[in-house]
C-alpha cells in the first residue's frame, strides 16, 4: 500500500513539475515589453507559430492608394486581383513627429488610423516603418547623412529635447490606434530600417554601431517606459548586405531590445536570366533562421519587391522560391505609387488588373504557405 502511494505521489509530483516548468517557460517567452497588452503577446506567439508552416503576405499602403486610385473605400490592388486583402499592411510614420497632417507619401494620418482599424477588424496585421527626418534639416528628410545626427539626439545632445517631443508625437499616434472596444491595436514597429545601409542618417556612414545601439535602446525605453506604449513589437531591420551573423549583429542592440529579426532585399536583375536574387535571399534567410531560433525571435523578410514586376512568373518562380521553407512570419512588398514625377517612371510592387504578373500572383496567393487576410483571420492571431 505504501509503495503504491509513493508511486502515485511521485506521478502527481511529476505532473505538477511539468505544469510548473511549462508555466515558467511560457512566462519567459514574452515580448521585450513585459507589460505588453494581451493581444500584443498573442500576436507575438502566433507569428512564431504560423512561421512553421506559412507566412503572411503584406503590401505597403495597400488600402490607401494604388494604380489609378486613392482613398477609395474597401479598395486594394491586391484585392482587385486575388479577391482578398493582404494579410499584412505596411504604413509609414514620417511626418507624425512634426504633427503634419500627412505622411511622407501623402497619406492623411487620420485616414491611416481608420485603415489600420479596418485591417485589424478583418484579422490582418499592421506594421509601421519610420522615415524619420533629420533634426538638422527637414528638406533632406531621412536621407540627410550628416555625421553626428544620431549623437545629437542622444541624452545631452543638441537635438535631444527635440527628439523627445518627436517621440511624444509618435507615442500619441500609437496610443490612438484602438479597436471598437477601445483596446490598443498591436503594431509591428520597424524604426530605423535598413540600418546597415549608408543612405539614412542612422546608417553606417553617419553613426557608429555604439551610437546606433544607444538611440535604438533609448527610443524603446522612452516609448515603453516613459510614454507607456504597450502595444508594440519591435522589429530589428538591416539591409540585405550582410554575409554572416557577425555582420548582421554588428549593430544589434541585444535580445532585450528586439522582438523580430528581419532584413530588406529587392530584385534588380532580370530573374529570367539570373537567379542571384533567389540565392542571395536564401543565404540570408539561412543566417536568420539560425539566429531567430537561437534568440527565440520572430523572423521576417520585412521589405522586398521587383519594381513594375516585368517578369510574369516572379511570384511563384522567384519570390516563393527565394523564401522556400524558411520559417518567416511575413513578407512585405513595397507600395503601388503609380507614376512618380521625380523618377519619371511607374513605381509599383504589387500587380493590378491587367498587369503582366496578375495570373501568377493569383497562383501565389493560393499556395499552401501564403496567408492573405482570410487565412490570417482563420489563424486568430490576436487570440
Residues assigned a catalytic role: 194, 303
- 247-254, Cβ contacts within 8 angstroms, sequence gap of 24 or more: 247/196, 248/287, 248/288, 248/291, 249/291, 250/196, 250/209, 251/195, 251/196, 251/209, 251/212, 251/213, 252/213, 253/212, 253/213, 253/216, 253/217, 254/213, 254/217
Give CA–CA dist 333/129, Å, rounded.
Answer: 13
Which three three-digit cell numbers place residue 34? 513585459
Which three three-digit cell numbers place residue 193? 530600417
Q: What is the DSSP letter of 185?
A: P
Q: Calculate the CA dihedral of residues 296, 297, 301, 303 and round it to 10 degrees.
A: -170
Look-up of cell digits 479598395: 75
Backbone angles phi, psi at 152, to 5 degrees: -70, -20
Strand, coil or helix: 266: strand
Look-up of cell digits 505588453: 36
Which three three-digit cell numbers place residue 346? 511607374
Pairing state between β 55-60 and 88-92: parallel
Look-up of cell digits 485603415: 115
- Gap between the terminal Cα atoms of the chain: 46
Amino acid at each position: 500500500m505504501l509503495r503504491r502511494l509513493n508511486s502515485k505521489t511521485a506521478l502527481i509530483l511529476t505532473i505538477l513539475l511539468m505544469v510548473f516548468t511549462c508555466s515558467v517557460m511560457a512566462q519567459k517567452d514574452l515580448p521585450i515589453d513585459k507589460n505588453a497588452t494581451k493581444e500584443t503577446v498573442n500576436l507575438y506567439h502566433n507569428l512564431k507559430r504560423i512561421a512553421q508552416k506559412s507566412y503572411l503576405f503584406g503590401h505597403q499602403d495597400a488600402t490607401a492608394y494604388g494604380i489609378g486610385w486613392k482613398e477609395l473605400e474597401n479598395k486594394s490592388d491586391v484585392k482587385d486581383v486575388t479577391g482578398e486583402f493582404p494579410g499584412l499592411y505596411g504604413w509609414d510614420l514620417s511626418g507624425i513627429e512634426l504633427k503634419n497632417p500627412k505622411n511622407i507619401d501623402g497619406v492623411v494620418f487620420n485616414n491611416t488610423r481608420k485603415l489600420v482599424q479596418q485591417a485589424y477588424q478583418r484579422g490582418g496585421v499592421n506594421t509601421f516603418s519610420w522615415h524619420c527626418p533629420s533634426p538638422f534639416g527637414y528638406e533632406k528628410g531621412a536621407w540627410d547623412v550628416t555625421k553626428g545626427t544620431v549623437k545629437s539626439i542622444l541624452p545631452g545632445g543638441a537635438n535631444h529635447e527635440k527628439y523627445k517631443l518627436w517621440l511624444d508625437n509618435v507615442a500619441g499616434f500609437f496610443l490612438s490606434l484602438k479597436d471598437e472596444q477601445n483596446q490598443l491595436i498591436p503594431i509591428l514597429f520597424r524604426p530605423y530600417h535598413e540600418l546597415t545601409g549608408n543612405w539614412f542618417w542612422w546608417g553606417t556612414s553617419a553613426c557608429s554601431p555604439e551610437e546606433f545601439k544607444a538611440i535604438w535602446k533609448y527610443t524603446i525605453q522612452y516609448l515603453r517606459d516613459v510614454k507607456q506604449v504597450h502595444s508594440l513589437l519591435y522589429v530589428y531591420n538591416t539591409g540585405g548586405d550582410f554575409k554572416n551573423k557577425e555582420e548582421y549583429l554588428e549593430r544589434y542592440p541585444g535580445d532585450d531590445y528586439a522582438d523580430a529579426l528581419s532584413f530588406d532585399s529587392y530584385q534588380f536583375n532580370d530573374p529570367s536570366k539570373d537567379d542571384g536574387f533567389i540565392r542571395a535571399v536564401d543565404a540570408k534567410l539561412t543566417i536568420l533562421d539560425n539566429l531567430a531560433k537561437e534568440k527565440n525571435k520572430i523572423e521576417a523578410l520585412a521589405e522586398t519587391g521587383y519594381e513594375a514586376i516585368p517578369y510574369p512568373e516572379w511570384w511563384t518562380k522567384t519570390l516563393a522560391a527565394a523564401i522556400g521553407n524558411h520559417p518567416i512570419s511575413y513578407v512585405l512588398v513595397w507600395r503601388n505609387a503609380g507614376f512618380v514625377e521625380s523618377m519619371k517612371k511607374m513605381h509599383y510592387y504589387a500587380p493590378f488588373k491587367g498587369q503582366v504578373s496578375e495570373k501568377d500572383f493569383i497562383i501565389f496567393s493560393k499556395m499552401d504557405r501564403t496567408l492573405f487576410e482570410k487565412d490570417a483571420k482563420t489563424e486568430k492571431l490576436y487570440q
